[in-house]
């Protein structure tokens, strides 16, 4: 007796189906393995790409920065942030000296007078800025729990950013040699303020921040800059990579700062040329697109016991070295 089959099962025999030659193709292999330098993800490939960028920058060594076409420049959107508070006596006095627009000056009651406070009150009175005396707990609430206001705060409108190419054009028009710092994803406003202060100290003409995923000129950045933000303009780039490419087209050398760079900072080859230094974020460093845009990635030699430098310190060290080499070349 035949064994009953599964109900609903087909009794037709299945025809053998071939592989269509796929097995044969698999056996043929994928050809010879590419050389290490031809693989973009391989360290040798990355070194080759960095060398090509460096050679391209050297080929442009004799070029001078050209005139900027203002009509072709997109304008960054203005920030819709609320007013900021500048806190601390040094920061407030520097802001008033630079005639930064301000709407209100807050003074803590029973504030101890010194020369800075007297200058601040005199400048505010002369400019017609309202002065409000408040209790210290109220000033603490206004300025925030982490602020060290020293009994004084100045309310200012949102920071007015310049356009990066406007900033470059103004430096060229004055006959200056461009030296800028661009920030790639720096999210700590204290690092932004420190970089603005270092840029002012070592002869730089401006700082460039991206419109997205980056800290800007907040009250905390103002505070850390110790008033240098009143003298050094900050520009906002709607697209940092495209801005750096526009700078390169105008003869400015783009130098990234990274611990794994291919060029050492001491005796930097391009220091006497127009330069923009690019500092990466506190954790991830330079982004891939920015790294590929750089003419060279510069490494700062440090002790092996130290893992890395933060963006503010790295930018300060690089600015000092560029300033020193330019002074030597001029002398």
- Tell me 280's DSSP state: E
At 212-241, the pLDDT tens digits run: 888 888 767 877 787 788 789 999 999 999
At 147-198, the pLDDT tens digits run: 788 999 999 888 889 999 999 999 999 999 999 999 998 988 889 999 999 9
| Residue 322 near residue 277, CB atoms below 8 Å | yes
Element (H, E) at 329: helix 311-330
> Does position 22 have pLDDT exceeding 80, yes or no?
no
> Can you tell me the mean pLDDT for 247-275?
88
Q: Is 231 exposed, middle or buried (0-12, 13-18, 19+ CB in 10 A)?
A: middle
Q: Which of 246, 232, 241, 220 is nearest to 180 (CA)?
A: 232
124 or 16, which is more confident? 124
Residue % of the chain over a pLDDT of 90: 38
At 45-104, the pLDDT tens digits run: 666 666 666 666 656 555 444 444 443 454 444 444 457 888 889 889 988 887 777 889
270-300 burial: b if 16+ Cβ within 10 Å, else e: bbebbbbbbbbbeeebbbeebbebbbbbbbb
Global confidence as pTM: 0.67
- Tell me 162's DSSP state: B
Task: State the Cα–Cα distance between residues 172 and 286, nearest whole angstrom.
Answer: 27
């Amino acid at each position: 007796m035949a064994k009953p089959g599964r109900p609903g099962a087909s009794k037709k025999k299945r025809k053998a189906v071939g592989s269509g030659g796929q097995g044969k193709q698999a056996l043929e292999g994928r050809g010879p393995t590419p050389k290490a330098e031809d693989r973009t993800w391989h360290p040798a490939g990355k070194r080759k790409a960095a060398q090509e960028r460096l050679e391209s920058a050297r080929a442009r060594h004799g070029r001078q920065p050209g005139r900027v076409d203002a009509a072709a420049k997109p304008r960054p959107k203005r920030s819709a942030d609320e007013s900021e508070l500048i806190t601390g006596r040094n920061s407030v006095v520097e802001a008033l000296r630079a005639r930064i627009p301000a709407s209100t000056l807050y003074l803590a009651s029973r504030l101890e007078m010194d020369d800075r406070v007297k200058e601040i009150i005199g400048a505010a009175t002369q400019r017609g800025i309202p002065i409000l005396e408040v209790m210290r707990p109220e000033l603490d609430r206004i300025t925030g729990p982490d602020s060290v206001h020293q009994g004084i705060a100045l309310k200012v409108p949102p920071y007015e950013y310049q356009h990066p190419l406007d900033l470059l054009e103004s430096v060229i028009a004055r006959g200056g040699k461009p030296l800028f710092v661009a920030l790639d994803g720096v999210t700590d406003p204290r690092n932004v303020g420190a970089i603005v202060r270092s840029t002012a100290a070592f002869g730089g003409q401006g700082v460039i921040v991206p419109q997205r995923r980056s800290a800007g000129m907040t009250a905390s950045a103002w505070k850390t800059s110790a008033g240098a933000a009143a003298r050094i303009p900050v520009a906002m780039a709607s697209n940092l990579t495209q801005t750096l490419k526009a700078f390169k087209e105008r003869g400015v050398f783009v130098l990234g700062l990274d611990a794994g760079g291919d060029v050492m900072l001491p005796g930097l080859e391009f220091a006497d040329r127009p330069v923009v230094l690019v500092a990466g974020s506190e954790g991830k460093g330079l982004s891939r697109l920015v790294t590929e845009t750089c003419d060279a990635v510069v490494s700062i030699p440090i002790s092996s016991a130290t893992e890395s430098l933060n963006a503010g310190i790295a930018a300060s060290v690089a600015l000092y070295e560029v300033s020193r080499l330019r002074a030597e070349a001029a002398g």
